[in-house]
């Protein structure tokens, strides 16, 4: 006698919220890696709002698999990553233009769905960023590679990312900075191994939208040159800076010049005695944080 088997399928519907984050300069905040100062994190804030339940608990992502299956066909057909046989949107979480690949031990940037705007790939084992990683993804506006093992970034890796506004490379192993895309507003390279010779003289000069620059906890011997007028926050704490000049922040040939947008400069933890360089701050509305005596 044949046994009749009946299979029941349970469909779980999880409502999707329009999670494409908007960039609002007015509310821009950032988390300072490796210090006691918490300024709020734009990237962390958006992540928490968009994925409160998308957390990695060691082996399983605490998100119903049905949420992953609601992506469109283009997301489900993303090719496998370089490190596993799983497509990117099964290994990671893809939500309305945002890709979350956090704490999954990937060693390379995974292939991304077209139209990806926000990539969060924190706390993995990525060692290198190649030009090919973003060659076809020109829609990116935010990338967070914090907490990886990145030692090398190929020349031109970010050259096609003309919409990129926020880039975090904090807590990696970089010795030098890559060429940065022109529309950046926020760049975080805290806690790397960057020395002054690893930053080109004009690395920031043409970044006329750059407002937040974080280079704390590196090995810089001097303040980077040609800082843009747009800069509001500059963090250089716990480097190896021993001297600055009257032209570092100001213009020695123009006593009326005021750097009106600069709100904060952090230089504590450097071997420099700031009181010896008072003329270097004559154009600033507030004195840098650091040692004066």
Rounded to an integer, the average pLDDT of 211-229 is 97
> Phi and psi of 45, rounded to 5°?
-60, -45
pTM score of the predicted model: 0.74
pLDDT in tens, 125-171: 999 999 999 999 999 999 999 999 999 999 999 999 999 999 999 99
Question: According to the model, what pLDDT value does residue 290 have?
Answer: 97
Percent with pLDDT over 70 in the chain: 71
* Spatial separation of the C-alpha atoms in residues 252 and 246, rounded to whole Å: 6
- Indicate the pLDDT class of residue 210, thresholds 50, 70 and 90: very high
Q: Quote the pLDDT of residue 79.
A: 54
Spatial separation of the C-alpha atoms in residues 21 and 15, rounded to whole Å: 17
Q: How many CB atoms lie within 10 A of CB 113?
A: 21
Would the pLDDT of 59 be above 90? Answer: no
pLDDT of residue 87: 86
Q: How far apart are CA 216 and CA 36, in angstroms?
A: 12
In sequence order, the 6+-apart residues with CB closer than 8 A to the CB of 83 are 106, 107, 108, 110
Domains and CATH numbers, the chain: 86-239 (3.80.10.10)
Looking at residue 68, its pLDDT comes to 39
Which residues 6+ apart lie within 8 Å of 4 measured at CB?
Answer: none
**Burial 147-177, CB ≥16 within 10 A → b, else e:** bbebeebeeebbbbbeebbbbbbbbbebeeb
Most confident of 1-15, 31-45, 139-153: 139-153
Alpha-helix runs per DSSP H in the chain: 42-50, 65-69, 73-76, 88-91
Question: Residues 246-278: pLDDT tens digits?
Answer: 999 999 999 899 999 999 999 999 999 999 999
Helices (H), 60-150: 65-69, 73-76, 88-91
């Amino acid at each position: 006698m044949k046994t009749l088997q009946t299979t029941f399928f349970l469909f779980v519907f999880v409502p999707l919220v329009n999670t494409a984050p908007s960039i609002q300069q007015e509310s821009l905040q950032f988390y300072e890696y490796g210090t006691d100062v918490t300024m709020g994190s734009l990237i962390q804030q958006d992540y928490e709002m968009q994925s409160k339940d998308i957390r990695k608990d060691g082996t399983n992502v605490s998100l119903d698999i049905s949420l992953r299956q609601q992506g469109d066909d283009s997301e489900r057909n993303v090719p496998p990553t370089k490190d596993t046989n799983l497509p990117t949107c099964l290994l990671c979480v893809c939500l309305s233009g945002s890709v979350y690949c956090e704490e999954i031990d990937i060693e390379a940037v995974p292939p991304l769905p077209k139209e990806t705007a926000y990539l969060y790939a924190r706390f993995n084992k990525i060692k290198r960023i190649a030009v090919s990683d973003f060659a076809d993804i020109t829609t990116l506006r935010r990338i967070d590679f914090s907490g990886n093992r990145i030692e090398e970034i190929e020349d031109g890796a970010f050259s096609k990312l003309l919409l990129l506004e926020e880039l975090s490379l904090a807590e990696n192993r970089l010795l030098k900075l890559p060429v940065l895309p022109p529309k950046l507003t926020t760049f975080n390279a805290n806690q790397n191994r960057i020395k002054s010779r690893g930053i080109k003289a004009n690395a920031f000069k043409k970044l006329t939208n750059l407002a937040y620059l974080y280079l704390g906890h590196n090995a810089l011997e001097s303040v980077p040159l040609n800082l843009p007028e747009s800069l509001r926050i500059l963090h250089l704490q716990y480097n190896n800076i021993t001297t600055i000049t009257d032209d570092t922040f100001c213009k020695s040939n123009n006593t009326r010049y005021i750097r009106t947008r600069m709100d904060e400069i952090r230089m504590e933890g450097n071997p420099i005695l700031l009181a010896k360089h008072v003329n270097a701050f004559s154009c600033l509305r507030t004195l840098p944080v650091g040692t004066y005596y």
